[in-house]
Amino acid sequence: MSLVELTARADELGLAAGGLACLDRCVPLLGGDDEILRPLWASLAEPEEGFRDWGECVEQVRAKLYVADGPEGGASAEGEAVALAHRMLGAAPAERTAANLREWADTCSVAALQIHGLLDATARAESGGAASARDRREGRTQDMSPLVAAELRRQVSVLELVAAHGPAGLRQARELTTEGRRVLRAVVSRRARGRA
């Protein structure tokens, strides 16, 4: 099943986890530490309390990480990736409804795939930006760069885990996300050393 199909079938919890996992993997681009999104993950694990806490947590995280007018994308891959990550955070819905979360999950999915394509040193074939990311989500995965392929697998796995296990799947989803964040942090660090 393609990522688009999985997203279409996802319930509110799956959509929230999918969007949050994409954002969490991209936290290194936002200058946040590994625990910055923990309150949002906690709000997903507690359905009743979480509905009330979600919007407040979003605002707190945004206040710590978000640049109001968005950073300048610039001509560099890094600048564009940082701008995409800020857009993901800026688009996080304060109200946790299925419609809001579906739009956000789609936005985050496309942006995260674009970010991984921009930062993959081997990704000469990963051109086309959002259009290429949409193709990947629909199952057209030929000539996919390694970093993008890994991100796509993580997005699919998060949705599958939450669909199969509900709130109990969030722990494994976070573990996958932590692994992805480490990978992206290493990529960002390697690229920074290459420019030094």
- pLDDT value at residue 5: 94
- pLDDT value at residue 125: 42
Cβ-contact 40, 20 below 8 angstroms: yes
pLDDT for 112-128, tens place per residue? 999 999 998 765 544 55
Among residues 193, 115, 178, the alpha carbon closest in space to that of 147 is found at 115
Long-range contacts of 164-170 (CB under 8 A, 24+ apart): 166/13, 167/13, 167/44, 167/45, 167/47, 169/17, 170/17, 170/41, 170/44, 170/45
Going by pLDDT thresholds of 50, 70 and 90, the confidence category of residue 75 is low
Taking the C-alpha atoms of residue 173 and residue 167, their distance in angstroms, rounded to an integer, is 10
Taking the C-alpha atoms of residue 5 and residue 14, their distance in angstroms, rounded to an integer, is 13
Find the mean pLDDT for residues 58-71.
75
By residue count, the chain amounts to 196
Mean pLDDT of the chain: 87
- pLDDT value at residue 58: 93
Residue 95 DSSP label: S
Taking the C-alpha atoms of residue 128 and residue 116, their distance in angstroms, rounded to an integer, is 13
Residue bearing the bigger pLDDT, 54 or 128: 54
Taking the C-alpha atoms of residue 126 and residue 129, their distance in angstroms, rounded to an integer, is 8
Full-model pTM: 0.89
pLDDT for 80-120, tens place per residue? 999 999 999 999 999 989 999 999 999 999 999 999 999 98
Residue bearing the bigger pLDDT, 10 or 128: 10
Taking the C-alpha atoms of residue 55 and residue 44, their distance in angstroms, rounded to an integer, is 12
Residue 168 DSSP label: G
Q: For residue 175, give Cα distances in angstroms to 29, 152, 170, 185.
A: 19, 16, 9, 15
Residues 6+ positions from 180 with CB-CB distance below 8 Å: 21, 25, 150, 151, 154
